[in-house]
Structure 1
Amino acid sequence: MSLKEKATAFLMGRMGKTAHVRQVTALDHRLLQLEMQMPDSLAWRSCQHLKCQVSSTALRDYTVAHYNDNTRIATLIIDAGHIGEGSKWLRQLAPGDPVAYMGPGGGFHQPTGASQLVCIGDASAIGHILSLYHRRNPEQGFHTLAIDEDPLPTEIMGMPVRFSDGQEKDVISWLDKLQLPLHDTTFYVAGYIPMVVQTRKLLNQLGWKQVKAAGFWK
Structure 2
Amino acid sequence: MLNFMNIIKRKALSIIGNALAKTGTVLAVRAWQPATFFEVDVHFPNMDMSSWEKVQYIKVNVEEGVYRDYTPAGWDEDTRTCTLYVDGVHDGPGSRWAKMVQQGDEISYIGPSRTFHRPLEGKMIVLGDMSALGHYLALQQLAGDRALTGAVSVIEEGHLASFYDYFKWEVDAVKQQDEGGFEALLDWTKDKDLTDTEIFIVGHIPTSIQLRKELKKRKDHPNTIRVQGFWS
Q: Distance in 2 between matches of 1:111 and 1:80?
A: 28
Question: Residues 28-39 of structure 1 correspond to what in structure 2 (within 5 A)?
Answer: 28-29=33-34, 30-39=36-45
Please say which of residues 97-106 and 41-50 is displaced more in the overlay. 41-50
Judged with a 3 Å threshold, the aligned counterparts in structure 2 of structure 1 residues 79 and 18 are, in CA distance, closer, same or farther, namely same
Letter in 2 for 1:190: V
Q: Distance in 1 between matches of 2:17 and 2:56?
A: 19
Please say which of residues 152-161 and 190-199 is displaced more in the overlay. 152-161
Identify the match of residue 93 of structure 1 among 85, 95, 101. Answer: 101
Please say which of residues 122-131 and 162-171 is displaced more in the overlay. 162-171
Q: CA RMSD in A?
A: 2.1
Question: 2:117 maps to what in 1?
Answer: 109
**Structure 1: where are the runs of 5+ without partners?**
none
Q: TM-score, normalised by structure 1?
A: 0.86
Shift of 1:160: 4.2
Q: Secondary structure at the match of 1:154?
A: helix
Q: Deviations over 1:130-175 (max 9, x none)?
A: 111111041x2311301244454235443344233343772234x4
Judged with a 3 Å threshold, the aligned counterparts in structure 2 of structure 1 residues 172 and 89 are, in CA distance, closer, same or farther, namely closer
**Structure 2: where are the runs of 5+ without partners?**
1-6, 177-181
Q: Distance in 2 between matches of 1:213 and 1:5?
A: 28
Is the 2:125–2:200 contact (alpha carbons within 8 Å) kept by the matching residues of 1? yes
Shift of 1:118: 0.6
Identify the match of residue 23 of structure 1 among 17, 23, 28. Answer: 28
Q: Deviations over 1:81-106 (max 9, x none)?
A: 11111111111111110000010013
Please say which of residues 56-65 and 153-162 is displaced more in the overlay. 153-162
Is the 1:111–1:136 contact (alpha carbons within 8 Å) kept by the matching residues of 2? yes
Q: Distance in 1 between matches of 2:216 and 2:165?
A: 28
Identity %: 28
Identify the match of residue 191 of structure 1 among 203, 216, 219. Answer: 203
Q: Distance in 2 between matches of 1:54 and 1:106?
A: 21
Identify the match of residue 83 of structure 1 among 67, 87, 91. Answer: 91
Q: Secondary structure at the match of 1:109?
A: coil
Shift of 1:41: 3.4
Q: Secondary structure at the match of 2:63?
A: coil
User: Are 2:214 and 1:214 equivalent residues in the alignment?
Assistant: no
Judged with a 3 Å threshold, the aligned counterparts in structure 2 of structure 1 residues 4 and 208 are, in CA distance, closer, same or farther, namely closer
Q: Secondary structure at the match of 2:148?
A: strand
Question: Residues 47-62 of structure 1 correspond to what in structure 2 (within 5 A)?
Answer: 47-62=55-70
Q: Deviations over 1:165-202 (max 9, x none)?
A: 343772234x43xx56x12x211011101111121122
Question: 1:163 maps to what in 2?
Answer: 173
Q: How many residues align?
A: 210
Letter in 2 for 1:154: Y
Please say which of residues 2-11 and 208-217 is displaced more in the overlay. 2-11
Q: Distance in 1 between matches of 2:74 and 2:9?
A: 32
